[in-house]
Amino acid sequence: MFVVERFAQFAVHLRAAPLRAPVIHDAKRAVVDWHAALFPGAVIAPATLLERVLADELDRGGATLALGRRATARAAALINGTAAHAIEFDDIFRDAIYHPGAPTIAAALALAQDRAASGQEFLRAVVAGYEISTRIGAALGRSHYRHWHTTGTVGSFGSAAAAATLLGLDRGQFAHALATVATFAAGLQQAFRMDSMSKPLHSGRAAEAGVLAALAAREGVTGSLDVIDGEAGLGRAMGDGPDWSRACEGLGEVFNISAMTFKNHGCCGHAFAAIDGALALMARAGRPAADIARVRVATYQAALDVAGNREASSPAQAKFSLPYVVAHALAHGSVRLDAFSPERLADPLLRSLMGRIDIVVDPELDAAFPGKRAARVDIEWKDGTADGWLQPTRKGDPDSPLTDEDLEGKLQELAVPVIGAARAGALSRKLWNLEAVPRLDSALA
């Protein structure tokens, strides 16, 4: 069988097989985290601009946007998928260098609402999307990430698999949905190496592409079944010819949705280990950031490639500026949404600290990427003393996970300013009990 056929066989079986309670719970954790990122992203550009662009697909249809506005399934997937990636607080599958939740859950929720599916059916679709896409992403690996934004490319498979599951596609149709979406997959790294709105659009477009591919497959549209593993297929065009047999190992036994990273900082995940190390050093020192003479951050190459810039004149730039977010952590003890306010971006102390931070590649830490995301942070104080810290992982990674209570706090922190405490509380109760919800035919909040 071709790769798309093997994934289709797994997904069709998953639709009827019992899911273990821990897998269901981990799927709910992913959905809670997705909603936390969704609401603040829904009230800023580019999501707000997309509502104007797609006005003729709004106020009708069976799906809803974050704040409850009706939309067609494709429009909801596109706008919500964009919103969920906009503030850089969405989940990560570390081994694939990939944010699966933003596109996958956007597509799953749009079709679940449109079809009035149950919460249990919705969760199964999310699991299918995560399992198939994370395995494709891990197989493509670091070579793919050199030029491609995995959330835009691999995210298309997550959304297509979730949508195909909710549509009840048979094995052949499911395989064709994956085959079709493979040729839709796109998203360039260069698109966010300078100030732009492109990065969250990659996620939204991936969500919409998956919905379209699944709907098309239901009506008989076919794709090239060897599009992933063929001679001129995705593996060779976008990677170094990965071993696809390994991507299918353990399907139905090992669930990647149980090994997610949930973000503890509101910026590029490549900066997290450095932020965690800086916070640990400041806690140990008990001294103000103004006493710092020099900071040295040693980490892996991709962190410098994606977040090594020193331009931080806009929120988009600052979220991908390792010097800025480390300086903010040193000065303010966190990197949350307020880190990117106009006042903070213009803060003279942060600008001064940025100039004292050096960033280099550590060959040992680089060799461990992407399976490990580590950083060494050294601080030299103005009185001549020094201290160092090796941060071997990131808070929020599977080996240092956020608890359910942490995720609930994140949801309340990010949702309440947008929808209010009462709606956020009602949303939380529904999300943590999704498997018992009979119909998802309206806004969850």
Cβ 102 vs Cβ 433: under 8 Å: no
- State the pairing for strand pair 357-361/292-299: parallel
Segment 369-373 shows an average pLDDT of 95
Looking at the structure, tell me whether residues 301 and 337 fall in a common domain: yes
**Cα–Cα distance between 225 and 4 in angstroms, integer?**
6
Looking at the structure, tell me whether residues 283 and 380 fall in a common domain: yes
Residues 224-237: pLDDT tens digits? Answer: 999 999 999 999 99
Residues 287-321: pLDDT tens digits? Answer: 999 999 999 999 999 999 999 999 899 999 999 99
Per-state percent for the chain, helix, strand, coil, to nearest 5: 60, 10, 30
Looking at the structure, tell me whether residues 203 and 285 fall in a common domain: no
Helix (H, G, I), strand (E, B) or coil at 331: helix
Alpha carbon of 48 to those of 26, 67, 125, 342, 409: distances in Å? Answer: 30, 11, 27, 20, 26
Beta bridge partners of 295: 357, 379
Looking at the structure, tell me whether residues 254 and 344 fall in a common domain: no
Residues 74-96: pLDDT tens digits? Answer: 999 999 999 999 999 999 999 99
Cβ 100 vs Cβ 129: under 8 Å: yes
Check pLDDT > 60 for residue 407.
Answer: yes
Residues 6+ apart with CB under 8 A from 342: none
Number of independent structural domains in the chain: 2
Q: Per-residue confidence at 33, pLDDT binned at 50, 70, 90?
A: very high
Segment 199-215 shows an average pLDDT of 98
The number of residues making up the chain comes to 445
Looking at the structure, tell me whether residues 128 and 201 fall in a common domain: yes
Alpha carbon of 421 to those of 82, 259, 337, 410: distances in Å? Answer: 24, 30, 18, 13
Residue 250 lies in a domain: yes
Give the CA diameter of the chain. Answer: 72
Residue 396 lies in a domain: no
Q: What is the pLDDT of residue 43?
A: 98
Residues 34-81: pLDDT tens digits? Answer: 999 999 999 999 999 999 999 999 999 999 999 999 999 999 999 999
Residue 441 lies in a domain: no
Check pLDDT > 80 for residue 366.
Answer: yes
Segment 376-394 shows an average pLDDT of 98
**Cα–Cα distance between 34 and 28 in angstroms, integer?**
10
Give me the CATH number covering residue 276: 3.30.1330.120
Q: Work out the burial of residue 335: count CB atoms within 10 Å of its CB; fewer than 13 is exposed, 13-18 middle, 19 or more buried.
A: buried
Q: What is the pLDDT of residue 223?
A: 98
**Cα–Cα distance between 219 and 171 in angstroms, integer?**
14
Task: Give the percent of the chain with pLDDT over 90.
Answer: 97
Q: What is the pLDDT of residue 441?
A: 82
Residue 445 lies in a domain: no
**Cα–Cα distance between 105 and 130 in angstroms, integer?**
9
Looking at the structure, tell me whether residues 291 and 242 fall in a common domain: no
Give φ, ψ of 229 to 5 degrees.
Answer: -105, 5
Residue 382 lies in a domain: yes
Question: Could you list the residue range(s) of the whole structural domain that residue 349 is in?
Answer: 269-391
Residue 98, sorted as left (phi over 0), alpha (psi -120 to 50) or beta, turns out to be beta
**Interior angle at CA 57, CA 148 and CA 421, nearest 5:** 80
Cβ 382 vs Cβ 291: under 8 Å: yes
Looking at the structure, tell me whether residues 164 and 255 fall in a common domain: yes
Average confidence score pLDDT of the chain:
97
Q: What is the pLDDT of residue 265?
A: 98
Residue 191 lies in a domain: yes
Looking at the structure, tell me whether residues 51 and 36 fall in a common domain: yes
Residues 101-157: pLDDT tens digits? Answer: 999 999 999 999 999 999 999 999 999 999 999 999 999 999 999 999 999 999 999
Give me the CATH number covering residue 226: 1.10.4100.10
Looking at the structure, tell me whether residues 18 and 130 fall in a common domain: yes
Looking at the structure, tell me whether residues 9 and 158 fall in a common domain: yes
Beta strands in 14-127 (DSSP E): 58-64, 70-71
Helix (H) or strand (E) holding 21, with range, is: helix 21-42
Residue 338 lies in a domain: yes
Residues 143-187: pLDDT tens digits? Answer: 999 999 999 999 999 999 999 999 999 999 999 999 999 999 999
Q: Work out the burial of residue 381: count CB atoms within 10 Å of its CB; fewer than 13 is exposed, 13-18 middle, 19 or more buried.
A: middle
Looking at the structure, tell me whether residues 213 and 87 fall in a common domain: yes
The number of beta carbons lying within 10 Å of the beta carbon of residue 278 is 30
Looking at the structure, tell me whether residues 273 and 256 fall in a common domain: no
Amino acid at position 186, single letter? A
Q: Per-residue confidence at 445, pLDDT binned at 50, 70, 90?
A: low
